[in-house]
């Protein structure tokens, strides 16, 4: 539990109430019935939930179920960040903490207990989330006892303990004789016992007190040349691990400027023993191609979902910044006539060239009380997999998706020519953006089709991002930026400024790369095909090549944003 957690501060839908240790205001008041341990459909209930060491992907399925039913989440800030994405949008959140206020653990537990019990008595389903596993948290044990004495039903959802999860993410395999030590509570007897053994030790400590713990072990009989690893921010993309020996770790932390730190104590997991020597071969997390890279994605969250997921799989931290906004056409009559023609049998085909086009038609359908059944008897084409997925979510399975390049040109490669014998109607409905190119229209006309080229939506430049994001873009705070079209280049530079010269520039194709170069940007990465997922893979390949080059040169592996301003970038990969 975080010692900084004190007075209860309750937030509902982004609004912070005043500090209180006994009450909470939440927007979520609907309580599903039937949870284990509940006395009835209107009874309050408390779930003590382990949030794991930091990676939201380590939450258990049972934890996700409990979070989906919760009316109130109670926990410190970092823990709430891990669990809140699995809760309802209107769930209340409460921190047994006031910013900047620090009390001892007993005061923290007392404040949390009062808040949890008071909320449960009003019928709320409370999730008390703690880092790691609640079964290993002494404060959580006290809170459970208080609920038991008060007759408040509760359950425990175990989580991955930091002492187990962090070594796994650091590439340190634990097996055989393993001892776990909490440096904050270990006395002389404990140090003497573990210091005199050959067991692998997992020590929960802080970065600032690692040297004190290693000194205790050496004094208790451990050899000074015993290898160890020290990991901070374990299981997150901020994770960092140092390897040294008991005798040299203090010098290593100083040499790498890990210490001294201006902030307060930084939690760390130290593993002592010969097994840490295998980390060179077993490290899998910190060696991901884009580990820790902050990557700017100039798209909305909806557009960037699959791309951001792929970037995360490479260890990156995606940051979505919309560069365009979608608005209805200035004159909606053309779109209205086309949708009516769709229903009355005017078209043989409808071709979707973007997710936004699908959204525009779907909204117009809903306006008229129509659904996917209106597409009966009409062939449907999608320019690529993402557009096809949007159609499937609408209830429509596309008849045509390009087998090769996912673009207008690729769609034309597979589009059949008009045949008056087999095609009763020769007309295609093409809903698209106001700035779309004429490639598809011209190609369909050449194939013998009549095309109703309809403006379904307008694209306009988005509002500028927040000031701190603009500063990061211009100041080199991002490691890379992915440009998925020429318009994203023009609009990003227009609303936020030109990315710093240390930022890796990745473009989806030659046209986008040309636009980037026209804006004074040096293109480092270009996708081998016009696909956002291929672009992410190309950036990952660049990151891998960069890591290998640093290792072969004997240099430390750093992120692009860690390089000195003004330094030259590597040639394109």
Q: What is the pLDDT of residue 104?
A: 58
CA distances from 143 to 132, 414, 491, 524 (A): 16, 65, 52, 54
Nearest-angstrom CA–CA distance, 123 and 488: 49
Nearest partner of 152 among 50, 49, 39, judged by Cα: 39
Residue the block writes with tokens 């990061």: 472
Q: For residue 393, count CB atoms less than 10 angstroms from its CB and return exposed for 0-12, middle for 13-18, buried for 19 or more.
A: exposed
Task: Write out pLDDT tens, residues 487-515.
Answer: 899 999 999 999 999 999 999 989 999 99
- pTM score of the predicted model: 0.76
Contact at 8 Å (CB) between 559 and 292? yes
- pLDDT at position 105 over 70: no
- pLDDT at position 569 over 80: no
Position 302 confidence tier, pLDDT thresholds 50, 70, 90: low
Q: What is the pLDDT of residue 404?
A: 81
Task: Write out pLDDT tens, residues 143-201.
Answer: 999 999 999 999 999 999 999 999 999 999 998 999 999 999 999 999 999 999 999 99
DSSP string spanning 322-338? --EEEE--S-THHHHHH
Nearest partner of 84 among 27, 39, 129, judged by Cα: 129
Contact at 8 Å (CB) between 383 and 353? yes
Residue the block writes with tokens 């710093």: 500
Task: Write out pLDDT tens, residues 227-257.
Answer: 999 999 999 999 999 999 999 999 999 998 9
The least confident of 88-102, 304-318, 459-473 is 88-102
Rounded to 10°, the helix 333-344/355-368 angle is 80
Position 25 confidence tier, pLDDT thresholds 50, 70, 90: very low
In this prediction, residues 412-427 reach a mean pLDDT of 92
Contact at 8 Å (CB) between 557 and 544? no
Nearest-angstrom CA–CA distance, 483 and 490: 10
Q: What is the pLDDT of residue 443?
A: 94
């Amino acid at each position: 539990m975080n010692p900084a957690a004190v007075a209860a501060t309750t937030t509902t839908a982004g609004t912070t109430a005043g500090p209180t240790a006994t009450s909470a205001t939440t927007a979520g008041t609907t309580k599903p019935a039937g949870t284990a341990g509940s006395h009835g459909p209107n009874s309050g209930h408390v779930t003590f939930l382990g949030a794991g060491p930091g990676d939201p992907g380590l939450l258990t399925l049972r934890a996700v179920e409990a979070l989906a039913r919760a009316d109130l989440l109670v926990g410190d800030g970092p823990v709430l960040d891990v669990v809140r994405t699995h809760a309802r949008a209107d769930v209340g959140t409460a921190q047994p903490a006031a910013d900047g206020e620090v009390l001892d653990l007993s005061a923290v537990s007392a404040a949390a207990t009062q808040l949890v019990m008071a909320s449960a008595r009003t019928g709320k389903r409370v999730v008390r989330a703690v880092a790691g596993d609640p079964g290993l948290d002494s404060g959580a044990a006290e809170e459970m006892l208080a609920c038991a004495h008060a007759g408040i039903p509760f359950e425990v959802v175990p989580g991955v303990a930091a002492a187990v999860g962090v070594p796994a993410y650091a590439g340190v395999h634990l097996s055989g004789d393993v001892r776990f030590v909490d440096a904050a509570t270990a006395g002389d007897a404990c140090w003497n016992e573990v210091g005199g053994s050959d067991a692998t030790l997992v020590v929960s400590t802080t970065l600032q007190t690692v040297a004190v713990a290693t000194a205790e072990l050496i004094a208790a009989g451990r050899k000074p040349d015993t290898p160890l690893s020290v990991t901070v921010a374990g299981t997150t993309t901020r994770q960092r691990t140092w390897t040294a020996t008991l005798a040299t770790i203090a010098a290593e932390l100083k040499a790498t400027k890990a210490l001294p730190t201006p902030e307060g104590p930084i939690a760390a997991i130290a593993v002592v023993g010969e097994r840490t020597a295998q980390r060179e071969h077993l490290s899998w997390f910190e060696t991901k191609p884009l580990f820790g890279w902050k990557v700017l994605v100039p798209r909305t969250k909806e557009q960037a979902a699959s791309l951001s997921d792929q970037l995360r799989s490479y260890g990156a931290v995606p940051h979505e910044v919309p560069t365009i906004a979608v608005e209805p056409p200035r004159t909606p009559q053309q779109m209205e006539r086309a949708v009516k023609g769709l229903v009355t049998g005017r078209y043989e085909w409808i071709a979707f060239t973007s997710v936004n086009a699908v959204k525009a038609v779907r909204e117009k359908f809903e306006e008229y009380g129509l659904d996917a059944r209106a597409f009966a008897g009409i062939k449907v084409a999608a320019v690529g997999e993402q557009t096809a997925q949007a159609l499937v979510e609408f209830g429509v399975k596309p008849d045509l998706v390009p087998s090769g390049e996912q673009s207008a040109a690729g769609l034309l490669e597979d589009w059949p020519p008009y045949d008056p014998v087999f095609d009763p109607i020769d007309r295609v409905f093409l809903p698209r953006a106001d700035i779309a190119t004429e490639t598809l229209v011209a190609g369909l006309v050449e194939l013998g089709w009549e095309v109703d080229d309809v403006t379904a939506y307008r694209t306009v430049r988005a509002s500028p991002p927040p000031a701190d994001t603009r500063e990061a873009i211009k100041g080199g705070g991002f490691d890379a930026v992915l440009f998925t079209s020429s318009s994203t280049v023009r609009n990003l530079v227009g609303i936020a400024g030109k990315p710093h010269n240390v930022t890796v520039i990745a473009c989806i194709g030659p046209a986008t790369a040309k636009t980037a170069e026209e804006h004074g940007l040096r293109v480092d990465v270009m996708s081998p095909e016009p696909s956002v997922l291929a672009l992410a893979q190309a950036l990952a390949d660049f990151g891998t090549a960069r890591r290998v080059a640093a290792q072969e040169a004997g240099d430390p592996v750093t992120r692009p944003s860690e390089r000195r301003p003004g330094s030259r970038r590597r040639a394109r990969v």
